[in-house]
Amino acid sequence: MFKFSPKDDKFYDLFVLLAKRIHTSGEMLRNFIYEPADGEDKVKEIKAAEVKCNQTLQRIFKELNKTFITPIDREDIYIIGKRMDDIADDIEAAANRFNMFQIKRATSEAKGISDLVVKSTAQVICLIKEFKVVHQNQNLQKIIVEINRLEEEAEVVFRKALGGLFSASIPTIEVIKWKETYERLRNILEVCKNVADTVEGVIIKHA
């Protein structure tokens, strides 16, 4: 089993920072969905948060380029960082859909998925913190299971929301708008799951 040594803390600290910034973006998205007013300003704030996430990712890459020996395989550090940043990208994309489609009132399903986004990104923080020392760490597997469970819960809400769209007398343009929006929201949970699956793969590799 591996663990991050003190000299490798730069990677660990940057991963934790990135996870926290992603979670902040998730909270901002949920607040926007619950209160869609001032969409332009809120999307700009979420975009600024996404830029900070990308800057953190670039710092990880910079450290990777100048570090000869890494605590785990170089490509694993790259992939984990990139997939974490994908969460921030999808959060911004979901916010953009709400603003672009000029949605003034969110559905209960959209609010529900946004709640799951906040829960899942909070679990990503826990995942990365527990990832520092994998040896004899039982909590990490529980977190991975929970992130997967949240993704499955989001999928159930997503399917229910789509069923409601196609079973009701809703104008076609509204169906298109909401289908795209629901898909964007669901994707956030999927990329959180991708991060958890990637971390699990690294753990198995070093078992």
For residues 84 and 118, what is the distance between their CA atoms, to the nearest angstrom? 14
For residues 121 and 39, what is the distance between their CA atoms, to the nearest angstrom? 22
- pTM here? 0.92
> What is the C-alpha R_g of the chain?
18
Which alpha helices (H) appear in the chain, and where do they start and end? 9-34, 39-66, 74-100, 108-131, 139-167, 172-205
Query: Residue 6: what pLDDT?
Result: 47
The answer as to whether 79 is a domain residue is: yes
The answer as to whether 190 is a domain residue is: yes
Query: Residue 8: what pLDDT?
Result: 55
Query: Residue 170: what pLDDT?
Result: 84
For residues 169 and 10, what is the distance between their CA atoms, to the nearest angstrom? 55
The answer as to whether 141 is a domain residue is: yes
Look up the CATH number of the domain holding residue 196: 1.20.58.220
Query: Residue 188: what pLDDT?
Result: 98
The residues, any chain, with a CB within 8 Å of residue 106's CB and separated by 6 or more, are 33, 34, 36, 98, 114
The answer as to whether 125 is a domain residue is: yes
Query: Residue 2: what pLDDT?
Result: 52
The answer as to whether 1 is a domain residue is: no
Q: How many CA atoms lie within 13 A of 123 on its CB side?
A: 27
DSSP output for 7-48 = GGHHHHHHHHHHHHHHHHHHHHHHHHHHS-SSHHHHHHHHHH
Q: What string of pLDDT tens digits covers the 207 residues of the chain?
A: 555 544 557 888 999 999 999 999 999 999 999 998 888 999 999 999 999 999 999 999 999 998 888 878 889 999 999 999 999 999 999 999 999 998 889 999 999 999 999 999 999 999 999 887 665 567 888 999 999 999 999 999 999 999 888 877 888 888 999 999 999 999 999 999 999 999 999 888 876
For residues 84 and 93, what is the distance between their CA atoms, to the nearest angstrom? 15
Range of the domain at 38: 6-205
Name the maximum alpha-carbon separation found in the chain: 61
Domain count, the chain: 1
The answer as to whether 77 is a domain residue is: yes
User: Rounded to an integer, what is the distance from CA 108 to the centroid of its chain?
Assistant: 21
Looking at residue 6, what DSSP letter applies?
G
For residues 158 and 179, what is the distance between their CA atoms, to the nearest angstrom? 9
For residue 41, what are its two tokens?
A: 């300003």
CA 83, 84, 86 angle in degrees (round to 5)? 60
